[in-house]
Amino acid sequence: MSRLLIFSTKRNNIPQKAFVRFASYSSSPSVPPAIFARGSGGRSSFSGVIATVFGSTGFLGRYVVNQLGRVGSQVIATWRGDELDARHLKPMGDLGQIIPFEIELRHHESIRKAIENSNVVINLLGKNYPTRYYSLYDVHVTAPRTIAQIAREVGVEHFIHVSSIGADKNSKSEFLRTKAQGEEAVRDVFPSATIIRPCDMFGDEDNFINRACIMVKTLPFIPLVKEGRAKLQPVWCNDIAMVIRKAAQDPEMFLGRTFELGGTKIYTMREFFEWIVAETKYPKSFQDVPYKVAEMLLFFAEKRLPIVNPDPKFTRDHLIRETSDRIVTCKNGELTFEDIDIVPHEFDSDIAKEVTKLYRRAGDTSELFYQ
């Protein structure tokens, strides 16, 4: 079956025809897009994947778009707010293959137009704190359910939903609780969806190493709640993006399955901060802080204030998560990197160390001045 793909972009608020291309692929979900791939496999090939990515302008989104673009996929990169937020994605694929597309989650017709010509839909939407217009439930449950429902209606072959490690309906963390509810909502509507639960992801723009470095640089000591015994299993964001790309190219292998993806080594929170201190060269002591005291301090730290604190990095929900284990358990038979023959990168590597350079006591030359 041939489909004519016609996408519209906005320039000076005037709709314009921006991209026209014929793509031939079967509408049957039993035939993987790879069968229709053309070319040698590079960015100027056609991988057979026509993917709509929700959350493309976020941290993980740019890596997913890059992974898809470099193998010759057509990517509809959805955005809301400022159209400039998506412009950095366009060079990640061949000319005209990455198409920024404006959507609004409450405007279902915009979602329908974004996915009606795709054979894969990838949902990366997520947020750490509620805002005036969107609660965590809106983003983690209502939006995935809506996207999955429309994807099923228009005949999308494969739906990939990114959740979080530790997602649990009974969790005290609203983030983890709504993530679990979002998984159920997606599976109810789209039973063959692939669900991916990544552990704490690190990378240049992460909210993991960067947050820790800010703490080490600004606080007089490193506060540890519950003695920093909670366990974590950091994973490189590009390894997660690689799995998503493989799922888009070979849906038969991933249909209806759930993956828990973590790094090669498990750390405690104390060990993690010891690594951060060593890399940033800031001599800091560790201080145990009672849970109630930390909760009270974060009550004020999580307040969103214009200019002063527009994007809170530390919330009470973070406290709940970071005092609980965030590691791969596979309690219900979930799959891991090993099941798809991928070896994730080490956390204690140049990749993670690059992130700390911005915060080092003497920049890149810290080792010349501080031991």
Helices 209-218 and 269-280, axial angle in degrees (round to 10): 70
pLDDT in tens, the chain (371 residues): 334 344 444 433 333 333 333 333 333 444 566 667 777 778 888 889 999 999 999 999 999 999 999 999 999 999 998 889 999 999 999 999 999 999 999 999 999 999 999 999 999 999 999 998 999 999 999 999 999 999 999 999 999 999 999 999 999 999 999 999 999 999 999 999 999 999 999 999 999 999 999 999 999 999 999 999 999 999 999 999 999 999 999 998 899 999 999 999 999 999 999 999 999 999 899 999 999 999 999 999 999 888 888 899 999 999 999 999 999 999 999 999 999 999 999 999 899 999 998 898 877 666 656 65
Alpha-helix runs per DSSP H in 74-138: 108-115, 136-137
Cα-trace Rg, the chain: 21
State pTM to two decimals.
0.89
The fold of 2-204+235-265+327-346 is: Rossmann fold (3.40.50)
The CA–CA distances, whole Å, from 235 to 136, 238, 260, 349, 371 equal 24, 9, 11, 11, 27
287 DSSP assignment? E
Q: Residue 68: what are its φ and ψ, rounded to 5°? A: -70, -45
For residue 309, the model assigns a pLDDT of 87
For residue 14, the model assigns a pLDDT of 34
Quickly count: other Cβ atoms within 10 Å of residue 86's Cβ. Answer: 23
Look at residues 217, 326, 201, 346 and name the one whose alpha carbon lies nearest to residue 273.
217
